[in-house]
């Protein structure tokens, strides 16, 4: 067992899924001989052939619709979008078809497809390459929105997403594509969807996050630990449907909570979590829910990017305010 | 300067406006039974549309899109398909759906606001009606890709309107179908009007068939009010696709004699004189004239058929009106394969709110 990166874990899961199920197909731009812009599909065309690893024309609206047709015919297409900034044409197909085909045909036709896309900032990429628009998808009925925060979760959650009988939007935090590394046994064991993961236990405050922000959040928890404050850290992992039970149970114990995400503050998934806490966990809250997020602005170009992204300092400032509230 | 590419668009018609052959008929049209089956399917479609509109006008059906005057397109297309092919209609192809085994009661249920109407008991792999214009063209390509991957001799047939040809989805679908030589046939039901926007305002292209040229696939035009021509031209395209010779775009020229839907009032934007003139071209009279000219259709045959169609449609309407309501919780029960735990509370709320 060797240590691998998140993007390597994605490739390992894709290969595993293709190995075990002939109906799994990959579609996307430059995913064949080029291996994808982040090399997530590197070597897969050599291993599985052009029939199953298909370079498509530059038609972002088309591939999502193509996957709907393939899904209805019993295939399990996995579609790669090069960057989240190019995924928006697919929203038409996801809202109007993928998310509702099962419901509108009473299960006669279904759509077991996965849409993969790297997302998020912090790598000084060009314009339109750094956004975190997961909330757009989390609002859509009939789909799942899944975000891994580590190589092990990327492997297990992607396997689960591919095996799932319904459409999954799988967003990969590209800032942590190459580091940190983790040991992964390629055992084909999926990580369950629809549940949050407690990645650090603590009794004083609950920190809720997902994707690459797990790095800053865990770092903040370490800093707090040195000060004698034990933070519990929850990785949401499946943003839709949202496992509020795990979150409520943690906050019931800690009484204090901060939500951390890179996406813009307003209307973000953090707002849904905060609303869930207000609705069902208010009596356990000892302080207002803190939120640390991207600002409600256009993702800045690289020179101002670091001032947009939540940092450990910003997280600590909010958490200390939450802790100080009496 | 050198010319590097050129194209021509062919138009096919077999019967003139008075039902007289303009050229030797295709082999299938020599068979009286085949022609009568096409005729019956068109008359049944028109009878069904009239009933559906009447149900809507009396508050017993939701908004409905009649296919009045365009019956030859879906009927000719569906007649050219094999049972194992997959049909991906727009929202005005009920005549084709019925021919493929979708039950009239199912179509009424759909427009009556009941999802069970898309759970076809007949053609289980056919797609349901597609409301967002042209967004099903990529699905047809996906279905055709599935056939190609499995090495199956099946064809996906997708029908959309003239308005849809202005959308990127239709071009993107044709483009990939061309690259992969997929077994798919695209049919434009060019009824000249996209709600209030006439064909001339939709595109400066002289024909819609030539939209195929940029995608590198054949584009042909057919008289969409001549069911023999539709069946022949679409049938040829389908058999070419089945044989691995790739996709085709067929533009069927017809005319929307009705409003866009029951929610529309075409008199706001369209001259009655134009509509009256177009009644002379409609497909049913034309084929009936042809059959009568050949002594293959009598007044008695016609009366019997009208009676049969009415009886079938009335039976379907009664069945529709007597269908027990949907369980309210079904709005959540079919969303995912298994209801996620996060939705259990909402399901319970629906159940509680609607308990008798």
pLDDT tens digits for range A250-300 = 999 999 999 999 999 999 999 999 999 999 999 999 999 999 999 999 999
CB contact A105 to B (< 8 Å): yes
- Under 8 Å between Cβ of A224 and A206: no
pLDDT-derived band at A2 (thresholds 50, 70, 90) equals confident
Active site residue B171: no
Best of B342, B343, B344 to disrupt the A interface (most A CBs within 10 Å) is B342
- Under 8 Å between Cβ of A300 and A308: yes
- Does A152 share its domain with A282? no
Is the predicted ipTM greater than 0.90, yes or no? yes
Among B209, B230, B207, which Cα is nearest to B220's?
B209
CATH number for A96:
3.40.50.970
Q: Where are the alpha helices (DSSP H) in B81-210?
A: 94-99, 104-111, 137-150, 168-180, 199-202
Best of A69, A96, A109 to disrupt the B interface (most B CBs within 10 Å) is A69
The one catalytic residue among A124, A128, A129, A153: A129
- Does A207 share its domain with A112? no
Chain A partners within 8 Å of B145 (Cβ): 66, 69-70
Please state, in angstroms and rounded to a whole number, the distance separating the CA atoms of residues A1 and A183. 6
Helix, coil or strand: residue B197: strand
- Does A249 share its domain with A317? yes
The last residue of a domain, from among A183, A205, A238: A183
Chain B partners within 8 Å of A64 (Cβ): 138
Interface of A with B in 229-248 (CB under 8 A): 241-245
Chain B partners within 8 Å of A109 (Cβ): 125, 127-128
pLDDT mean over A117-122: 96
Out of A105, A164, A165, closest to residue B128 by CB: A105
Among A69, A111, A89, A119, which Cα is nearest to A269's?
A119
DSSP 8-state class, residue A24: E
List b or e across B281-293, with b for residues whose CB sees 16 or more CB atoms inside 10 angstroms. Answer: bbbbebbbbbbee
- Does A13 share its domain with A149? yes
Contact B169 A194 (CB under 8 A): no
What is the predicted pLDDT for the residue at B355? 75
Out of B116, B143, B343, closest to residue A72 by CB: B143
Answer whether residue A222 is part of any domain.
Answer: yes
- Does A107 share its domain with A205? no
Please state, in angstroms and rounded to a whole number, the distance separating the CA atoms of residues B137 and A213. 39
Angle at A99 between CA A98 and CA A103, to 5 degrees: 105
- Under 8 Å between Cβ of B233 and B12: yes
Helix, coil or strand: residue A194: coil
What is the predicted pLDDT for the residue at A144? 98
pLDDT mean over A90-112: 97
pLDDT mean over A37-54: 96
Chain A partners within 8 Å of B167 (Cβ): none
The one catalytic residue among B136, B260, B286, B288: B260
What is the predicted pLDDT for the residue at A1? 65
Answer whether residue A320 is part of any domain.
Answer: yes
Inter-CA distances, B158 with A8, A248, B74, Å: 40, 49, 10
- Does A11 share its domain with A122? yes
Answer whether residue A192 is part of any domain.
Answer: no
Total number of domains in chain A? 2
What angle do helix axes B137-150 and B168-180 make, rounded to 10 degrees? 20
- Under 8 Å between Cβ of B144 and B182: yes
Contact B128 A75 (CB under 8 A): no
Please state, in angstroms and rounded to a whole number, the distance separating the CA atoms of residues A314 and A312. 6
Nearest chain A residue (CA) to B156: A69
Chain B partners within 8 Å of A71 (Cβ): 142
> End-to-end CA distance of chain B, in Å?
79
Nearest chain A residue (CA) to B147: A73
Answer whether residue A188 is part of any domain.
Answer: no
Per-residue pLDDT of chain B (356 residues; tens, 9 = 90+): 999 999 999 999 999 999 999 999 999 999 999 999 999 999 999 999 999 999 999 999 999 999 999 999 999 999 999 999 999 999 999 999 999 999 999 999 999 999 999 999 999 999 999 999 999 999 999 999 999 999 999 999 999 999 999 999 999 999 999 999 999 999 999 999 999 999 999 999 999 999 999 999 999 999 999 999 999 999 999 999 999 999 999 999 999 999 999 999 999 999 999 999 999 999 999 999 999 999 999 999 999 999 999 999 999 999 999 999 999 999 999 999 999 999 999 999 999 998 76
- Does A202 share its domain with A295? yes
CATH number for A262:
3.40.50.920
CB contact A167 to B (< 8 Å): no
Inter-CA distances, B324 with A46, A149, B314, B321, B352, Å: 55, 48, 18, 8, 20
What is the predicted pLDDT for the residue at B312? 98
Architecture of domain B11-325: 3-Layer(aba) Sandwich (3.40)
Inter-CA distances, A50 with A45, B124, B282, Å: 6, 30, 48
Find tokens 């009556």 and name the residue.
B112
Percent of chain A with pLDDT over 90: 99
Inter-CA distances, B153 with A25, A98, A315, B136, Å: 21, 26, 59, 21
- Does A299 share its domain with A225? yes
Answer whether residue A190 is part of any domain.
Answer: no
Inter-CA distances, A314 with A222, A288, A309, Å: 15, 17, 9
Contact B128 A51 (CB under 8 A): no
3-state SS track over B39-73: HHHHHHHHHHHHHHHHHHHCCCCCCCCCCCCCCHH
Please state, in angstroms and rounded to a whole number, the distance separating the CA atoms of residues B92 and B133. 11
CB contact A61 to B (< 8 Å): yes
Average pLDDT, chain A: 97
Where along chain B do its domains lie? 11-325, 328-356
- Does A15 share its domain with A111? yes
What is the predicted pLDDT for the residue at B354? 84
The one catalytic residue among B46, B100, B154, B256: B256
Please state, in angstroms and rounded to a whole number, the distance separating the CA atoms of residues B309 and B314. 8
CB contact A194 to B (< 8 Å): yes
Question: Going by C-beta distance under 8 Å and a sequence separation of 6 or more, which residues neighbour residue B167?
Answer: B133, B134, B135
Answer whether residue A98 is part of any domain.
Answer: yes
- Give the closest-approach CA distance of B142 to chain A in angstroms: 4
- Look up the domain containing A208 and give its range: 197-324
pLDDT tens digit string along A16-34? Answer: 999 999 999 999 999 999 9
- Does A18 share its domain with A46? yes
pLDDT tens digit string along A209-256? Answer: 999 999 999 999 999 999 999 999 999 999 999 999 999 999 999 999
Strand partners of residue B253: B190, B223
Contact B335 A74 (CB under 8 A): no
- Does A163 share its domain with A286? no
Please state, in angstroms and rounded to a whole number, the distance separating the CA atoms of residues A25 and A7. 18
Whether pLDDT at A103 is above 80: yes
- Does A49 share its domain with A166? yes
DSSP 8-state class, residue A187: -
């Amino acid at each position: 067992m060797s240590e691998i990166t998140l993007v390597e874990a994605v490739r390992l899961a894709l290969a595993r899924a293709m190995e075990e199920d002939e109906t799994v197909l990959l579609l996307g731009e430059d995913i064949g001989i080029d291996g994808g812009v982040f090399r997530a599909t590197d070597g897969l065309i050599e291993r599985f052939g052009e029939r199953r690893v298909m370079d498509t024309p530059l038609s972002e609206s088309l591939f999502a619709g193509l996957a709907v047709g393939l899904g209805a015919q019993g295939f399990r297409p996995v579609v790669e979008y090069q960057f989240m900034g190019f995924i928006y044409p697919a929203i038409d197909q996801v809202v109007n078809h993928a998310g509702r085909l099962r419901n509108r045909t009473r299960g006669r036709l279904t759509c077991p497809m996965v849409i993969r896309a790297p997302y998020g900032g912090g790598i000084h990429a060009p314009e339109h390459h750094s956004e975190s628009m997961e909330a757009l998808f989390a609002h859509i009925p009939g789909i799942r929105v899944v975000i891994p925060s580590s190589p092990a979760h990327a492997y297990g959650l992607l396997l689960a997403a591919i095996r799932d009988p319904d459409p999954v939007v799988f967003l990969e935090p590209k800032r942590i594509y190459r580091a940190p590394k983790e040991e992964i046994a390629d055992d084909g064991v999926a990580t369950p969807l629809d549940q949050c993961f407690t990645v650090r236990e603590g009794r004083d405050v609950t920190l809720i996050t997902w994707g690459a922000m797990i790095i800053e959040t865990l770092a903040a928890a370490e800093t707090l630990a040195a000060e004698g404050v034990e933070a519990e850290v929850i990785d949401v992992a499946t943003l839709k449907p949202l496992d509020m039970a795990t979150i409520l149970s943690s906050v019931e114990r800690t009484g204090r909570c901060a939500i951390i995400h890179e996406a813009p503050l307003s209307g973000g998934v953090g707002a849904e979590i905060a609303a869930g806490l207000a609705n069902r966990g208010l009596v356990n809250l000892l302080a207002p829910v803190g939120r640390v997020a991207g600002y409600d602005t256009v993702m800045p170009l690289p020179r101002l990017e670091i001032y947009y992204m939540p940092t450990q300092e910003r997280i600590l400032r909010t958490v200390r305010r939450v802790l100080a509230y009496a | 300067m050198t010319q590097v590419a050129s194209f021509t668009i062919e138009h096919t018609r077999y019967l003139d406006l008075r039902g007289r052959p303009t050229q030797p008929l295709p082999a299938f049209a020599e068979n009286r039974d085949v022609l009568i089956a096409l005729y019956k399917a068109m008359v049944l479609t028109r009878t069904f549309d009239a009933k559906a509109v009447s149900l809507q006008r009396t508050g017993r059906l939701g908004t409905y899109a009649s296919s009045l005057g365009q019956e030859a397109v879906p009927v000719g297309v569906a007649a050219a398909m094999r049972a194992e092919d997959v049909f991906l209609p727009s929202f005005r192809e009920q005549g084709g759906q019925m021919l493929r085994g979708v039950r009239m009661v199912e179509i009424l249920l759909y427009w009556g606001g009941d999802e069970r109407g898309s759970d076809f008991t007949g053609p289980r792999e056919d797609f349901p009606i597609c409301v967002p214009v042209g967004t099903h063209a990529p699905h047809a390509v996906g279905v055709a890709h599935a056939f190609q991957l499995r090495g199956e001799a099946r064809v996906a047939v997708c029908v959309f309107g003239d308005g849809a040809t202005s959308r990127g989805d239709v071009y993107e679908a044709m483009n990939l179908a061309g690259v992969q030589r997929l077994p798919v046939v695209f049919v434009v039901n060019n009824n000249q009007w996209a709600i209030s926007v006439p064909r001339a305002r939709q595109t400066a292209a002289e024909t819609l068939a030539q939209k195929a040229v940029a995608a590198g696939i054949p584009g042909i035009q057919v008289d969409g009010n001549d069911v023999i021509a539709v069946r022949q031209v679409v049938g040829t395209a389908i058999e070419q696709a089945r044989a691995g010779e790739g996709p085709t775009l067929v533009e069927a020229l017809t005319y929307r004699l009705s409003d866009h839907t029951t929610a529309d009032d075409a008199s706001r934007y369209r001259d009655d004189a134009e509509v009256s003139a177009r009644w002379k071209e409609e497909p049913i009279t034309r084929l009936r004239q042809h059959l009568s000219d050949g002594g293959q259709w009598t007044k008695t045959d016609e009366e019997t058929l009208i009676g049969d169609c009415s009886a079938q449609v009335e039976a379907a309407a009664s069945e529709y009106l007597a269908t027990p309501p949907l369980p309210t919780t079904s709005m959540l029960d079919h969303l995912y394969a298994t209801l996620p735990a996060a939705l259990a509370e909402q399901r319970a709320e629906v159940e509680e709110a609607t308990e008798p």
